[in-house]
């Protein structure tokens, strides 16, 4: 039996979180720095502060402090990095993410971008917002990608909806 390659970024998870964000895979800059959402032009940290999910804007190097506000981080593909167009999406990633979420059971799992959601749900299309599917008791949500490459389709509305839902849940 071969040992799977190490994850590019250490997942930030624990049981009882109110919200976990899941991207497609770490971007090139995130992989280089070993920090989530570190790419130039990525709006993730700014958006969290703007919608009130964090008390102030954090930087990519502060990613582990999200646990203090009941938020975790992971990716669908954990052994590759780069833009979505260079990532090989493996169906085994669905099983890995499902097992991870079942183990930790956050209240919400938010896909940061439609691509990760489509690959996980094996769907041709998905919509922004709360989804009908769940992983155990975890509710699924899809928000517009914060990547600089997705700027033309940026919409703060779903992020505001997510913040409203997630702030109604007290972190454990």
For residue 97, give the CATH number of its domain. 3.40.470.10
Domain that holds residue 90: 19-167
Q: Determine, yes or no, domain membership for 4.
A: no
Supply angle C-alpha 42, 144, 69, rounded to 5. 70
Asked, for residue 5, whether it belongs to a domain, the answer is no
The yes-or-no verdict on residue 84 having pLDDT over 70 is: no
What pLDDT score was predicted for residue 148? 77
Tell me what the mean pLDDT of segment 113-129 comes to. Answer: 94
Q: Is residue 118 part of a domain?
A: yes
Counting every residue, how long is the chain? 172
Exposed / middle / buried, residue 37 (Cβ in 10 Å: 0-12, 13-18, 19+): buried
Band (pLDDT 50/70/90 cuts) for residue 86 is low
Label residue 1 by pLDDT band (50, 70, 90): very low
Residue 100 lies in a domain: yes
Q: How confident is the model at residue 6 (pLDDT cuts 50, 70, 90)?
A: low
Q: Is residue 8 part of a domain?
A: no
Domain total in the chain: 1
**Are the C-beta atoms of 96 and 78 separated by less than 8 Å?**
yes
The pLDDT, as a whole number, for residue 50 is 97
* Mean residue pLDDT across the chain: 89
- Which pTM does this prediction carry? 0.91
Residue 60 lies in a domain: yes
Q: How does residue 113 score in pLDDT terms, banded at 50, 70 and 90?
A: very high
For residue 9, what pLDDT is reported?
83
């Amino acid at each position: 039996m071969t040992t799977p390659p190490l994850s590019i970024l250490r997942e930030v998870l624990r049981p009882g979180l109110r919200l976990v964000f899941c991207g497609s895979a770490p971007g090139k800059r995130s992989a280089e720095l070993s920090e989530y959402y570190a790419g130039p032009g990525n709006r993730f940290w700014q958006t969290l502060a703007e919608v009130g999910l964090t008390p102030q804007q954090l930087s990519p190097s502060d990613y582990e402090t999200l646990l203090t506000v009941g938020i975790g981080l992971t990716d669908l593909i954990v052994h590759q990095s780069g833009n979505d167009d260079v990532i090989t999406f493996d169906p085994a990633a669905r099983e890995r993410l499902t097992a991870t979420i079942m183990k930790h059971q956050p209240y919400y799992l938010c896909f940061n971008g439609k691509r990760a959601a489509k690959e996980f749900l094996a769907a041709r299309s998905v919509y922004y917002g709360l989804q009908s599917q769940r992983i155990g008791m975890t509710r699924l949500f899809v928000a517009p990608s914060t990547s600089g490459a997705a700027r033309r389709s940026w919409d703060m509305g779903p992020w505001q909806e997510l913040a409203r839902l997630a702030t109604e849940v007290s972190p454990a």
